[in-house]
Amino acid sequence: MDHHFLRPPGLKEKIILILVSYIIAIVALGTVSFDDLETVGRKFEVVELADNLNGVILEIRRYEKNYLLYHNPQDLEENRRYIGQALNLVEDIERRAINLRSQPQLNDLREAISTYQDRMNQFAGTNAGEYDYIESARPIAEVRELGQKMIDIAQQEVTFERTMICHILETLRAQLLGVFAVALALGAVLPFLVFRKFFKLLYLLRAATENIAGGRFGKIPVHASEIEMRQLMEAFNHMVEELERHEAQMIQSQKLSSLGTMAAGVAHQLNNPLNNIWTSCQIAIDELDACDPQFVRKMLGNIDQETVRARDIVKGLLEFSRTKIFSMRWIELDVIARRAITLIAAQVPAEVEVHTEIPPDLKVQVDVQRFQEVLLNLLLNAVQAIGSGPGRVTLRAEADRVSCQVVITVHDSGPGIPPEIRSRIFDPFFTTKSDTQGTGLGLAVAYGIIKQHRGSIGVESEPGEGCTFVIRLPIEPPCGAEIATGG
C-alpha cells in the first residue's frame, strides 16, 4: 500500500478545504439572498398593481353610486369599463404572482368582481322609469355589499403583499446578520489557527535568521505536523549547513587574501626606506676615506630619517592588528576637535581653511586618544585632498535624537573620490598618495577604532564635489538623559 495517500492533510489541503467551504457557503447564501431579492422585486410589482386595482375598484364604486342615484347611462358605462379594467388587472396580478403566496385572495377577488358585474347587469336591465324602490332595495343592497367586498379583498391583497415584503426583508436582514456573525467568528478563529500553525514557525525562523545575521549559526528543531512546515524547516536547516560551510571557506579565503595583501603592502612600503638606507650606507662607505664629516653626517641623517619612516610603517601595522583595551569616558566633542586641529595646524597650507560646527554641550563616550587619532587621520586626509588650496575643511557634528546617535562629518572641497576606488578606501595599505605621504593604513586604523566604539564610518563623494566622511556613534544613556562629563 502506498503510504503517500495515507498521510494526514497538510497545511495547503486544510487551507484549500477551508476556502472551498467558505466559498460554497457564500455562494449558497448568495443564491438564496438573490432569490429573495427577486421575490421582493416581483412583490413590489404586485403591490403596485394591487394599489392600481384598489383605485379602479374605488372608481367602480363611485360610478355605481352615481348610477344608483341618478340612473345616468354614462355612469353605468364608466362602471362597466372600470369593471373590465379590474378583471384585466386581476389577470395581470395572477400572471406576475406565479409561485407567490397570493392566489386565494386573487381567486376570491375575481369571483367577487364577476358576481358584482352580473348583479349590476341584472339591475341595469330593469327600466329605469318603472323602478319600484321597495322592490329594488334588495338588489341594491346586494350590489353595495359586493362592492364593499371587492374593496375589502383588494385592500387585503395590498396588505398581504406588503406584509410578505416586510417578511422577506426581515429574512434577508437575518441572513446578512448571520453572514456577519460567521465572518466575525472566522475572523477570530482563523487567525488563532494560523498563529498556531504558521506564525509560530515564522517566529522561529525570524529568531534563527537574527542569530545568523549576528554570526551565530544554529538549526531549528523539526517538529511540525504539516508536511509543508517540515519541508520549510528542513530547507532552512540545509541552508544553515551551507552557510556554515561557505563561511568556513570564506574565512580561509579572507585569511589568505589578507595575508597576501599585508605581505605585498609591507614589502612595498618598506622597500623604499630600506633602499634609501642601503644607498646612503654605500655612499658613506665609499666616501669614508675622504673623511668629509659634513657629508658623512648628511648620509647618517638620511639613514636616521628612513629608519624612522620604516619604524612608522611597522608601528602602523601593529596599530592596525593589535587588540587594545579602550578607556571610555564622556567628554565634550569640541574639546577633542580643537586638540586635533591644533596638532595638524603646522601641516595645513595657508589657503586652506579648517572650520568647525560643533555644539559646545555635545558629549560623546570615547577613548579620547584613539578617537583623536581618527579625527587626525580624517582631517589630514581632507587637507591633503585639497592640496595647496584654496579650499575648506569643515568638521561638523550634531545629535540625531531619532536614531539616538551622534553624527560627525568631515567634509573637504577637494576633487572627490572616483567611484571605482570608493569601496576600497578602508582596505589596509590601499592609498592614492605617493610613498612619502602615507602608508595606506590611516583609514583602515580609523575604521577599526570606530567599530570598537560600536559606531560606523562611511564616505559620500561625487567627482568634483568634494568628499564627506560620516561617523555615527551611539548615545548612551538614552537620548533624553543628561550626560555628565567623565574623568
CATH of the domain at 257: 1.10.287
Same domain, 35 and 135: yes
pTM score, whole prediction: 0.39
What's residue 265's pLDDT?
53
- Are 333 and 358 contacting, i.e. CB atoms less than 8 angstroms apart? yes
Do 334 and 317 share a structural domain? no
Q: Tell me how far apart the alpha carbons of residues 196 and 479 are, in angstroms, rounded to a whole number.
A: 38
Of 68, 101, 90, nearest to 153 by C-alpha is: 90
Q: Sign of the C-alpha dihedral, residues 399, 400, 403, 409?
A: negative
Residue 419: pLDDT above 60? yes
Q: Is 235 or 312 the better-scoring residue by pLDDT?
A: 235
Contact 428, 320 (CB under 8 A): yes
Give SS3 for 16: helix
Domain termination site, one of 321, 337, 358:
321
Answer yes or no: is pLDDT of 175 > 80: no
Find the mean pLDDT for residues 101-110: 73
Q: Is residue 214 part of a domain?
A: no
The CA distance from 413 to 355, in Å, is: 12
Same domain, 309 and 348: no
Distance from C-alpha of 439 to C-alpha of 420, rounded to nearest angstrom: 20
Q: Do 301 and 345 sit in the same domain of this protein?
A: no
* DSSP-assigned letter for residue 485: P
- For residue 349, the model assigns a pLDDT of 86
Residue 364 phi, psi dihedral angles, 5° rounding: -135, 155
Are 268 and 377 in the same domain? no
Residue 35 predicted with pLDDT over 70: yes
Q: For residue 70, what pLDDT band results from cuts at 50, 70 and 90?
A: confident
Mean of all residue pLDDT scores within the chain:
75
207 occurs within a structural domain: no
Strands 391-400 and 352-357: parallel
Q: Which of 400, 403, 408 is CA-nearest to residue 469?
A: 408
CATH for 156: 1.20.120.1730
Residue among 400, 410, 273 at smallest CA distance from 354: 410
| Mean pLDDT across 434-463 | 76
pLDDT reported for residue 257: 47
- Is residue 23 domain-resident? yes
In the chain, what percentage of residues exceed pLDDT 70? 69
- Same domain flag for 70 and 161: yes
For residue 322, name the pLDDT band (cuts at 50, 70, 90).
Answer: low
Count the neighbouring beta carbons within 10 Å of the beta carbon of residue 169: 14
Q: Which residue bears the cell 587637507?
A: 383
Highest mean pLDDT (candidates 124-128, 189-193, 241-245, 341-345): 341-345
Picking from 208, 225, 207, 226, the residue whose alpha carbon sits closest to that of residue 217 is 208
Angle in degrees, 0-180, between the axes of helices 73-96 and 103-124, rounded to the nearest 10: 160
pLDDT the model gives residue 192: 67
- Confidence label for 317 from pLDDT (cuts 50, 70 and 90): low
Of the candidates 170, 193, 216, which is a domain's last residue? 193
> What amino acid is encoded at 68 in this protein?
L
* Torsion sign over Cα 88, 92, 97, 99: positive
Q: Which domain holds residue 440?
A: 329-474
How do 456-461 and 405-412 pair as beta strands? Answer: unpaired
Q: Are both 281 and 374 inside the same structural domain?
A: no
Give domain status of residue 102, yes or no.
yes
The average pLDDT across 80-94 equals 86
CATH number of the structural domain spanning residue 427: 3.30.565.10
Question: Are 256 and 384 members of one domain?
Answer: no
pLDDT classification of 1: cutoffs 50, 70, 90: very low
449 and 337 fall within a common domain: yes
Looking at residue 470, what is its pLDDT? 93
Range with top average pLDDT, 83-97, 114-128, 188-202, 265-279: 83-97
**Residue with cell string 374605488:** 58
Given pLDDT bands bounded at 50, 70 and 90, which one contains residue 333?
very high
pLDDT at position 250, please?
A: 53
The mean pLDDT value for 89-109 works out to 75
Residues 339 and 266 in one domain: no
How sure is the predictor about 408, in pLDDT bands with cuts at 50, 70 and 90?
A: very high
Q: Are 359 and 397 in contact (CB under 8 A)?
A: yes
Same structural domain, 380 and 453:
yes
What is the number of helices (H) and of strands (E) in the chain?
Answer: 11, 7
pLDDT cut 90: percent of the chain above it = 7
Q: Report if residue 202 sits inside a domain.
A: no
Lowest mean pLDDT among 107-111, 252-256, 346-350, 418-422: 252-256
Please give the single-letter amino acid code of residue 395.
L
Q: How far is CA 86 from the centre of its chain?
A: 67
Is the per-residue pLDDT at 138 higher than 60? Answer: yes
Rounded to whole angstroms, the Cα distance separating 313 from 437 reads: 12
What band does 129 get if pLDDT is binned at 50, 70 and 90?
Answer: very low
β-bridge partners, 467? 412, 461
What is the b/e burial string over 198-213, where b = at least 16 CB atoms within 10 angstroms of the residue's CB?
Answer: beebeebeeebeeebe
Kindly state the cell numbers that stand for 33: 439572498
Q: What is the pLDDT of residue 261?
A: 47
Give the containing element (helix H, strand E) for 354. strand 352-357
Residues 164 and 38 in one domain: yes
Q: What's the structural domain count of the chain?
A: 3
Lowest mean pLDDT among 30-44, 383-397, 447-461: 30-44
pLDDT category of residue 91 using cuts at 50, 70 and 90: confident
Report yes or no: 266 and 313 within 8 Å, Cβ to Cβ. yes
3-state secondary structure of 362: coil
Residue 220 in grid coordinates: 531549528
Q: Which parts of 287-387 fold into alpha helices (H)?
A: 293-321, 333-344, 368-386
* Stronger pLDDT, 122 or 322, i.e. the higher one: 122
pLDDT at 438 over 50: yes
Q: Please name the residue ranges forming H helices in 393-462.
A: 419-422, 442-452
Among the three residues 274, 303, 321, which one is the final residue of a domain in this structure?
321
Does the pLDDT of residue 460 top 60, yes or no? yes
The mean pLDDT value for 436-459 works out to 77
Question: Do the domain assignments include residue 109?
Answer: yes
In a domain, 199, yes or no: no
Cα 139 to Cα 130: distance, rounded to the nearest angstrom: 15
Residue 440: pLDDT above 90? no
Contacts 24+ apart (CB under 8 A), 456-459: 457/374, 457/426, 459/417, 459/422, 459/425
Cβ(269)–Cβ(429) below 8 Å? yes
Of the pLDDT bands very low, low, confident and very high (cuts 50, 70, 90), residue 434 is low
